[in-house]
Amino acid sequence: MAEPEIDYAAVFQALPGAVALLTPQLIYADANEGFLRTLGRTREQVIGSYLPDDFRDNPDAPAAAVTPNVQASLLRVAATGERDIMAVQRADLEDPERPGVRNERYWTWINTPVFGPDGRVALLLHRVEEVTELIRAREVALSLQEAMLPASRPVGRHQAAVRYRPAVDTLHVCGDWYDLVDLPGDRIAIAVGDVVGHGLPAAKVMGQLRSALSAACRAVDGPDRALEVLGLYARSLAGAENTTVATTFIDWDTHTVTYSSAGHPPPALLQRDGTVEFLDQATDPPLGARPEHAPRPQATVPFAEGDVLALYTDGLVERRREDIDTGLARLADSLARHQAAAPETLADALLTDLLPPGGVTDDTALVIERL
């Protein structure tokens, strides 16, 4: 059976989105209808023109400021033969229904080399896509996440520092959480948790579990009982299985930290001599991991004034193809090196030391409390 003849010109015109072809000298060779609509010009006006001249007659146009960035990206592709994905660019465009009113618009470009028979870059495939709605969705999601997590505020005797970093491939929402709860007497509870998964489904479960644990900490006399109550509640909540949680009760009258963990990385106690003790003597399986309900363990350690307690989720210390002990050792080293720093400064230093520069691939929550 003969292979069908493919009309590549028709395929190019039918490509979704706005696509153009340019020479390595940045001369437009072709453009589909989507690209022409985006640029607001006819085919005759575009084909054969020079890309840097797009806004020569209107240098004050909002999109004109983006042209040098687009040009630099295309020239990199022509020189290196490697695809280039531009960072999101902003251009405030006039609302066609409200003259004089400009709206925030966001765009992204992907520039790809097309090689000729001699192996050299013959053409540049230039694709532009408006991502305004995606950016707005991220902003809404971030506002939702911030609404579900408590702001940094004085709890107990001292101001705690809190940090939250979403994974780079999420809409700024995740299943990680932290909480700080005032308790009767000179006591507070600090908890961190991690729901399996990302995105809005995990965030929904996270919000329910955080609220339930906050209430449980106020109603029971220890972190073990608080996690027992949370575990019973989690059994009735879809998506809560295998959630990990670490809960600590800090008592300034007795100078003790009582803690319990449901499969979570151990809290770190930085002592005044620079020693870091990981609180790992009361660790149990994650929520819902046991077929039957069972009591949770707890342990108590003393602290001295000036010690630092750090609670965190696994995004801070875990890396693929690396033993968890390596990440914990990095955390201990960073805590010791920044021992004298105030909680806010220390929290930032830990994130700088421990998180990869390209962004985290797992969500991260962190709480620092000076005892």
Per-residue pLDDT tens digits for 103-118: 677 778 889 999 999 9
Q: Which tokens belong to 239?
A: 């998506």
pLDDT at 11 over 70: yes
Query: SS3 letters for 73-110?
Result: HHHHHHHHCCCEECCCEEEEEECCCCCCCEEEEEEEEE
pLDDT, mean of residues 6-11: 84
DSSP 265: P
Record the pTM.
0.63
* Residues in CB range of 144: below 8 A, 6 or more apart: 173, 200, 203
Report yes or no: 26 and 71 within 8 Å, Cβ to Cβ: yes
pLDDT, mean of residues 128-149: 65
pLDDT, mean of residues 305-309: 93
pLDDT at 175 over 80: no
* pLDDT on residue 322: 85
Give the Cα separation of 185 and 242 in Å (integer).
Answer: 33
Give the Cα separation of 309 and 277 in Å (integer).
Answer: 10
Give the Cα separation of 337 and 243 in Å (integer).
Answer: 32
Residue count of the chain? 371
**Most confident range, picked from 192-201, 227-236, 289-298, 315-324:** 227-236
Q: Which tokens belong to 64?
A: 């004109």
pLDDT at 215 over 90: yes
With a pLDDT cut of 90, the percent of the chain lying above it is: 47
Give the Cα separation of 173 and 5 in Å (integer).
Answer: 47
Minimum mean pLDDT among 54-58, 129-133, 146-150, 217-221: which range? 146-150
Give the Cα separation of 230 and 227 in Å (integer).
Answer: 5
What share of residues in the chain are helix, strand, coil (percent, to 5)? 30, 30, 35
Radius of gyration, alpha carbons of the chain: 27
Residue matched to tokens 């540049």: 124
Report yes or no: 249 and 189 within 8 Å, Cβ to Cβ: yes
Residue 55 pLDDT class (50, 70, 90 cuts) = low
Phi and psi at residue 135, to the nearest 5°: -60, -45
* pLDDT on residue 102: 65
Give the Cα separation of 165 and 364 in Å (integer).
Answer: 5
Give the Cα separation of 311 and 313 in Å (integer).
Answer: 7
Q: Which tokens belong to 256?
A: 């003790």
Residue 1 pLDDT class (50, 70, 90 cuts) = low
